[in-house]
Amino acid sequence: MVCAVVALAQEPPPAPAAALALPELKEALPQAKFLGKTRLSVWGFQVYDARLWGAPGFNAASYAGEPLALELAYLRAFAAADIAERSLKEMRRSATISELQARTWLAEMRRVFPDVKAGDRILGVHRPGIGARFWVNGQRGGEIADAEFSRLFFGIWLSPKTSEPAMRAALLAGATP
């Protein structure tokens, strides 16, 4: 018997206005404008709620060259190693990644990403030409100073090659096409 994983982007419950003004977001991207939100569910299990912010005039077509912030609010527990492995798998949808580079990025993600439980939040900030900075539950979690990593990592959700086009569309709903 073959089982298939089906991931659906669904609208999460409305977030209170105060949740759109995260202190770490104000620090990382002071001019941030809320662009969109969605929920990832796999086989009927709710995985996380995602929200995206960009600078005023954020252009979806050139997302990789613009500062942005993506928050994942987890709805269940995951090990850091599993998050890193899945992230790398999704990044490989957009580009060929050498084994050496994959090992380096996996080590970096394991260093920066914690094990998560329901209710934990990770805010990632794409800094074009520099890399990615992460906050965990409002606290600085670490940085990966690699521009190519950052481009491919945020491309998991925002690249036209994403495995979740409906999620991409929901996140970019408030962006300039």
Span 93-112, pLDDT tens digits: 999 999 999 999 999 999 99
| Cα distance between residue 131 and residue 13, in whole Å | 31
Residue spans of the domains in the chain: they are 12-70+77-171
The per-residue pLDDT for 42 is: 86
Take residue 94 and report the two structure tokens written for it.
């957009």
Contacts of 142 (CB under 8 A, 6+ apart): 111, 112, 133, 134
User: Is the pLDDT at 16 greater than 90, yes or no?
Assistant: no
- pLDDT tens-digit readout, 127-173: 999 999 999 999 999 999 999 999 999 999 999 999 999 999 999 99
Burial of 57: CB neighbours in 10 Å, binned 0-12, 13-18, 19+ = exposed
Please state the pTM of the whole predicted model: 0.87
- Identify the pLDDT of residue 83: 97
pLDDT for the residue numbered 21: 62
Give the tens place of pLDDT for each residue, 22-51. 889 988 899 999 999 999 998 889 999 999
pLDDT score for 65: 95
Residue 10 banded pLDDT, cuts 50, 70, 90: very low
Location of structure tokens 């050498």: 98
Contact by Cβ (8 Å): 53, 34: yes
Structural tokens at position 123: 């805010």
The CATH architecture of the domain made up of 12-70+77-171 is: 3-Layer(bba) Sandwich (3.50)
Instruction: In whole angstroms, give the CA distance from residue 126 to residue 94.
Output: 17
Q: What is the largest CA-CA distance in the chain?
A: 51
